[in-house]
């Protein structure tokens, strides 16, 4: 959406989700509170205004905000609470939970439901993931998520990860999936089977890459499996198909770039740079991404792209 | 596609699939050989011409055709063989395999790889499905498929079905999934785990309802799982994204009607009639479809729609 949600759109979605019985939904810039900037993209409407608008529409639903240490600051979170936020999800790379200690503590201090959100969970060995989740728990997080940011995990890998977290933590466990390998729903089911009690979705899959687990479909599947989600199927379908589908800028499909993201495990911020490097060195950009995935490149290491492209060109 | 494939489109797809290493692909009217008619929709290009064109493009890939008893006849299949078909898939409702005896025998007589295709496999109890699959095998089918036509099966249900077929049949087992519940990939993986050795896909999901298991994504997932499919990832991605995506009339998403199809287990031919009945009786069409699913309505029982709509209106 390029941070272009209008207040009316947010109100309509919030009202629909609230009516359907959804317990929590998130209102934030894509890069979290304070993300509206030249670097990350300016929000068309200030996020605090959107949070207030969503709050006004809700009879029962609670509002979550996203906070990335280094982008959002204390004042942002305090303002979000004033605007009506009930939950904060503090997100770090899977190996960097230690940068979030003060943010988790702040969330608790402000009386928020406080969540640790470990992104790119496929990049760490299971022991490391558990260690980082335990850090979050030790700071006071009430829920810790494994986040499959690149849509790279397979269901058995989700089971191993969520199972290990469930075994080694006392707090609640969450899972956030992306659909790059057409496995978001399967991975969400795998997470629930292993004890995750917080799972994320997006209406009509709207989200980065190939989007997320499709909320209204998840409600149908969980109903068929006998779980009581508290969410009613027809109302949640209606907000997906009559509200969100109407303003989506493009359909959410699994295209070439989103597939290779899931296959290589590389995050989307590399895609543009890779395309340029592929042209420059006359190599297939997919080979670059797959090699970056093998080298476990992370955001900030964009320099590696040229090095890898050059190496592939030399070895051709 | 409303039976509107051009010869050029078929050539480009055939060449791409052949190059990628796909072993079989299907060229047929959506209702099988002989389907081009006022009732089922006229093909823009005669299917025999499309089969010949596809055949000319292939160095290694083999061509399958679909045959529905009651629509396609002996002459159609003979012509298809002359045009270059190597495989026939004889499709019946899951409880109606006995209408296909002569068609399976004809396939074998003509030297084709001969497949029994049990549609709407979610509608029969497992024992019935196995019994019908055994009928197909007894007629001479070399492969028998469980076909999840409505995209209604959950992974554990696929496992139970394919597992039971594998245990009770000697021939090869196949699975054909649809994505109405966002589970086509998960169901295909479940089928393979239980011994299915033939699995279907469509490039960019192009297919009825929410489409099928996405072929190029399946190649990536199976590679990640360590299976050797013989299909190369980049070439199959290229035919999906540079050929098929270019002529798809609409993106393949999970919309309201396709979701309710998977949730209720009712086939798509009911959708239009249901919409009209819902308006007439002032009820939610989804309630009609869910009730039809409970009553296990099948194609041909469209009369039931008004009866169900009326009953819902009365009980409101």
Facing B259 at nearest CB: one of A216, A259, A262:
A216
CA distance B245 to chain A (A): 9
Is the separation of the CB atoms in B305 and B277 below 8 Å? yes
Is B316's pLDDT higher than 80? Answer: no
Chain B residue numbers with beta carbons less than 8 Å from the beta carbon of A241 are 255-256
What does pLDDT average to over chain B? 95
Q: Could you read off the pLDDT of A207-266 as tens digits, one per residue?
A: 988 999 999 999 999 999 999 999 999 999 999 999 999 999 989 999 998 999 999 999
Chain B residue numbers with beta carbons less than 8 Å from the beta carbon of A240 are 256
Q: Tokens representing B150?
A: 């409505």
Facing B154 at nearest CB: one of A224, A260, A263:
A224
CA distance A272 to chain B (A): 18
Question: What stretches of B128-233 adopt beta strand conformation (E)?
Answer: 143-147, 172-176, 198-199
Q: Cβ of B220 and A259 within 8 Å?
A: yes
Facing B217 at nearest CB: one of A182, A213, A223:
A182
| 3 state SS of B178 | strand
CA distance A200 to chain B (A): 15
B29 is in an annotated binding site: no
Chain A residue numbers with beta carbons less than 8 Å from the beta carbon of B225 are 154
Facing B214 at nearest CB: one of A185, A220, A254:
A254
For B233, the closest chain A residue by CA position comes to: A260
Give me the sheet containing A172-176, strands edge to edge. Answer: A24-26, A62-67, A87-93, A113-119, A143-147, A172-176, A198-199
Q: How far apart are CA B209 and CA B202, in angstroms?
A: 13
Options 3.20.20.70, 3.60.70.12, 3.40.50.2300, 2.40.420.20; CATH for B7-247 is: 3.20.20.70
CA distance B207 to chain A (A): 14
What residues of A form the annotated binding site for Mn(2+)? Answer: 176, 178
pLDDT of residue B168: 98
| pLDDT, mean of residues B120-132 | 97
Is the separation of the CB atoms in A151 and A261 below 8 Å? yes
Q: Could you read off the pLDDT of B54-96 as tens digits, one per residue?
A: 999 999 999 999 999 999 999 999 999 999 999 999 999 999 9
| pLDDT, mean of residues B92-115 | 98
| pLDDT, mean of residues A123-132 | 97
Cβ neighbors of A53 (< 8 A, separation 6 or more) are A7, A10, A11, A14
When scoring B190, B218, B219, B220 by the number of chain A Cβ atoms within 10 A, the one with the most, hence best to mutate, is B220
Buried b / exposed e across A240-259, counting CB within 10 Å, b at 16+?
A: bbebbbeeeeeebbbbbbbb
What is the C-alpha end-to-end distance of chain A, expressed in Å? 39
Q: Is B45 exposed, middle or buried (0-12, 13-18, 19+ CB in 10 A)?
A: middle
Chain B residue numbers with beta carbons less than 8 Å from the beta carbon of A216 are 259
Dihedral pair phi/psi, residue A189, rounded to 5°: -60, -40
When scoring B178, B238, B251, B259 by the number of chain A Cβ atoms within 10 A, the one with the most, hence best to mutate, is B259
Facing A225 at nearest CB: one of B154, B179, B204:
B154
CA distance A221 to chain B (A): 7
Chain B residue numbers with beta carbons less than 8 Å from the beta carbon of A182 are 179, 184-185, 213-214, 217-218, 221
Is B37's pLDDT higher than 80? Answer: yes
CA distance A35 to chain B (A): 30
Percentage of chain A beyond pLDDT 90 is: 85
Is the separation of the CB atoms in B288 and B312 below 8 Å? yes
> What residues pair up with B50 in beta bridges, in sequence order?
none
SS3 per residue for B72-87: ECHHHHHHHHHHCCCE
Q: Cβ of A221 and B183 within 8 Å?
A: yes
Is the separation of the CB atoms in A264 and A255 below 8 Å? no
Q: Cβ of A183 and B186 within 8 Å?
A: yes
Q: Quote the ipTM score.
A: 0.95
| 3 state SS of A226 | coil
Is A185's pLDDT higher than 90? Answer: yes
Of residues B299, B295, B277, the one with CA closest to residue B286: B277
Angle at A147 between CA A141 and CA A150, to 5 degrees: 155
Q: Cβ of B220 and A252 within 8 Å?
A: no
Q: Could you read off the pLDDT of A71-95 as tens digits, one per residue?
A: 999 999 999 999 999 999 999 999 9
For B254, the closest chain A residue by CA position comes to: A204
Start-end of H helices in A169-302: 184-193, 215-224, 233-238, 245-247, 256-264, 271-281, 285-294
For A156, the closest chain B residue by CA position comes to: B225
pLDDT of residue A301: 82
Chain B residue numbers with beta carbons less than 8 Å from the beta carbon of A284 are 234
User: Count of alpha carbons within 13 Å of B213, Cβ hemisphere only?
Assistant: 25
Percentage of chain B beyond pLDDT 70 is: 100
Q: How confident is residue A41, by pLDDT bands cut at 50, 70 and 90?
A: confident
Q: Could you read off the pLDDT of B219-231 as tens digits, one per residue?
A: 999 999 999 999 9
| pLDDT, mean of residues A52-59 | 98
DSSP code of A85? Answer: -
Q: Give the A-side interface with B, CB within 8 Å.
A: 154-155, 179, 181-186, 189, 204-205, 213-214, 216-218, 220-221, 223-225, 233-234, 237, 240-241, 245, 251-256, 259-260, 262-263, 284, 286
Please name the CATH architecture into which domain A266-315 falls.
Answer: Orthogonal Bundle (1.10)
Residue B118: in which H helix or E strand, if any? strand B113-119
The reply to whether domains B7-247 and B266-315 share a CATH topology is: no
Q: Cβ of A181 and B262 within 8 Å?
A: no
Facing B216 at nearest CB: one of A217, A223, A259:
A259
Size of interface A-B (CB pairs under 8 A): 102
Buried b / exposed e across B255-271, counting CB within 10 Å, b at 16+?
A: bbbbbbbbbbbbbbebb
For A184, the closest chain B residue by CA position comes to: B182
Q: How many CB atoms lie within 10 A of CB B18?
A: 20
Q: How far apart are CA A143 and CA B151, in angstroms?
A: 34
Chain A residue numbers with beta carbons less than 8 Å from the beta carbon of B221 are 154, 181-183
Cβ neighbors of A63 (< 8 A, separation 6 or more) are A24, A25, A26, A27, A51, A54, A55, A84, A85, A86, A87
CA distance B290 to chain A (A): 12
What does pLDDT average to over chain A? 95
Residue boundaries of the structural domains of chain B: 7-247, 266-315
| pLDDT, mean of residues B109-132 | 98
Q: Could you read off the pLDDT of B239-254 as tens digits, one per residue?
A: 999 999 999 998 999 9
Chain A residue numbers with beta carbons less than 8 Å from the beta carbon of B155 are 186, 189
Q: Cβ of B154 and A221 within 8 Å?
A: yes
Facing B224 at nearest CB: one of A213, A260, A263:
A263
């Amino acid at each position: 959406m390029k941070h272009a949600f209008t207040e009316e759109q947010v109100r309509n979605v919030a009202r629909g989700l609230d009516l359907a019985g959804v317990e929590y939904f998130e209102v934030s810039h894509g890069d979290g509170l304070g993300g509206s900037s030249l670097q990350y993209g300016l929000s068309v409407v200030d996020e605090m205004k959107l949070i207030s608008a969503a709050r006004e529409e809700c009879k029962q639903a609670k509002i979550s905000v996203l906070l990335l240490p280094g982008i959002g600051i204390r004042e942002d979170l305090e303002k979000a609470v004033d605007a009506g936020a009930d939950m904060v999800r503090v997100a770090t790379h899977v190996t960097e939970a230690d940068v979030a200690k003060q943010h988790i503590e702040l969330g608790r201090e402000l009386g928020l439901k406080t969540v640790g959100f470990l992104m790119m969970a496929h990049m760490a060995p299971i022991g490391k993931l558990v260690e980082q989740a335990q850090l979050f728990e030790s700071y006071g997080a009430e829920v810790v998520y494994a986040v499959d940011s690149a849509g790279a995990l397979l269901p058995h890998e989700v089971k191993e990860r969520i199972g290990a977290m469930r075994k080694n933590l006392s707090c609640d466990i969450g899972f956030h999936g992306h659909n790059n390998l057409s496995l978001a729903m399967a991975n969400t089911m795998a997470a629930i089977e292993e004890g995750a009690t917080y799972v994320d979705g997006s209406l009509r899959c709207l989200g980065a890459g190939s989007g997320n687990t499709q909320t209204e479909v998840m409600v149908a599947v969980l109903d068929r499996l006998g779980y009581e989600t508290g969410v009613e199927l027809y109302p949640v379908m209606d907000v997906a198909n009559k509200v969100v589908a109407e303003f989506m800028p493009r359909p959410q499909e699994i295209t070439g770039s989103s597939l290779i993201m899931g296959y290589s495990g590389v995050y989307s911020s590399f895609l543009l740079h890779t395309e340029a490097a592929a042209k420059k060195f006359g190599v297939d950009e997919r080979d670059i991404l797959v090699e970056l995935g093998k080298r476990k490149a992370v955001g900030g290491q964009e320099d590696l792209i040229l090095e890898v492209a050059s190496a592939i060109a030399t070895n051709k």
